[in-house]
Structure 1
Amino acid sequence: MNETVLKKRKFHMTLLFLGAILLTWLSAWVTDYGFASSLEAVPGAMMWMASNLLVDKEALVKLPDIMGKLLETVFMSIAATTIAAALSLFLAIMGSKTTMVNRPIGAVSRFVASLSRNIPVVAWSLILLLSFGQNSVTGFLALFVGTVGFLTRAFIETIDEAALGSVEALRSTGATYWQIVTKAVVPQGLPQMVSWVLFMIETNIRSATLVGILTGTGIGYMFDMYYKTMNYGVVALITITIVLTVIVIELLSTRIRKVIL
């Protein structure tokens, strides 16, 4: 019996592997993508970056302005994530099978999360740009809406995975709905929820650069401005500061995860 199951799994994996190869080939054919020509272009691209993306004295003069815009981007990302986390927690409690009040409210919560999650942050930026114009509010809202969708789904899965023993114990003692939520459900899932929030802060700092290009705010706007004027020295310095900031944030969040998990 086990041998038969293993053969079936091997057959299914083979079909999956062949299907992936076929799909890749078909995608390359439809898009007229040449893998060989792409590899040939890599050395030239690397040489161009090595000769143009160099930090010079003129770029270093702009460092205080760059750091100011970078901090603006970081704080906007943190604010959008933390505020979205509060709303996501409420939607997750309403949408989770463990804690939902009733099915209609649960369905609405899941629909809101699905809608905001399945529209990319870039698309939200363009949509909100039409209403709010190029300002920091647009960038904040774009990150906020995208984060709500992702965190709501993550929080729902966290709550659903929580052990029901403590929930049933509190129900048997006559605890109210919100007492069950605050004393049993949230405490069990809180470490994992904090981990998801930290992950989204990292993600939003990366996304905020692209959002800033579209909304004219933060470090993304500065990157776009100097790139269009072909001031590649400043572009290189901006890129380096973004990379270093993301690495530092990632190291900090990893350290915090190890402490809380």
Structure 2
Amino acid sequence: MQVNFFAVKRRNSFLYCALLILLTISAIIITEYDVVKGFTSIPKAIEWASANFYPNEKALKKLPVIFDTLIETVLISIAATTVSAVFALLFAIFGSKTTGVGGVLSQLSRAIATLFRNIDVAAWSMILLFSFGQSVMTGYFALFFGSFGFLTRAFTEAIDEVSNSSVEALRATGAGYFSIIFQSVIPSSIPQLLSWMLFMVETNIRHATIVGILTGTGIGFLFNLYYKSLNYSSASLVVIVIVAAILLIESISNYVRRVIL
């Protein structure tokens, strides 16, 4: 039986690899993509970037404006994450197997979370453009909805990992539903919940750049403005500032995770 199992596994792996290769070749043929030209253009792209895509003295004068826009983007990302986390925790409690009330409410909570999670932030930006236009609110709600779907799923799994023994012990003492949640489930899950929130803040700062290009706000809009006006020096400075900010925030969040976990 063990020999047959490994044989079936190897056969399935071979079939999946063959299917992947077939799909790749089909895509190349359909799109008429020149593979050789694509690879040979990489050195030329690096050469162009080395000659044009670097900040100069004129670009450095725009650093205060870039910093102000970056701070605005970071604050919007943090606000969208924290507010969505509150709603996500509520839906996670109702949808969790440990704390869920069951029935239609639990199914509805999981269904809403699944719907919001499977719509990309960029898609939310385009949808919300019809309602709010190119404004900060469009970017905020796009990040909010994307964060809500992801955090609801993450929070639900974190709550489900809580040991049922403490929940059963409180139920045996006659504790009510809200007492169990606030005295057992949430305190036990707080480290994981905070860790997921920090991860979402990092992710939203990255997403905010793309969202800003679509909504005409934030650091993404500034990069798009400089790039389209052929001001590559200033555009490169925006990229450097974004990368530095992401690395700094990631370092801070990693430190906080080590402390709380």
- TM (norm. structure 1) is 0.95
Using the TM superposition, give the Cα deviation of residue 80 of structure 1 relative to its aligned residue in structure 2, in angstroms: 0.4
The match for 2:42 is 42
What stretches of structure 1 move > 6 A for 4+ residues in a row? none
Q: Tell me, what secondary structure is at the counterpart of 2:17? A: helix
**1:9-24 equivalent positions in 2, closer than 5 A:** 9-24=9-24
Using the TM superposition, give the Cα deviation of residue 125 of structure 1 relative to its aligned residue in structure 2, in angstroms: 0.8
Query: Residue type matched to 1:174 in 2?
Result: G
Q: Deviations over 1:52-102 (max 9, x none)?
A: 112111101000000000000011101100111111000100111221113
Using the TM superposition, give the Cα deviation of residue 12 of structure 1 relative to its aligned residue in structure 2, in angstroms: 2.7
Query: Residue type matched to 2:118 in 1?
Result: N
**1:1-261 equivalent positions in 2, closer than 5 A:** 1-261=1-261
Gaps of 5+ in 1: none
- Cα 1:195–1:8 change in 2 (3 A) is same
CA-based RMSD of the aligned residues comes to 1.4
Query: Residue type matched to 1:187 in 2?
Result: P
- Output the CA distance in 2 between the equivalents of 1:237 and 1:71: 15
Using the TM superposition, give the Cα deviation of residue 39 of structure 1 relative to its aligned residue in structure 2, in angstroms: 0.6
Query: Residue type matched to 2:148 in 1?
Result: V
Query: Residue type matched to 1:120 in 2?
Result: D
- TM (norm. structure 2) is 0.95
Query: Residue type matched to 2:156 in 1?
Result: I
Aligned length: 261
Gaps of 5+ in 2: none
Q: Deviations over 1:135-193 (max 9, x none)?
A: 11111111001100010011111112221111111111111111111122222222111
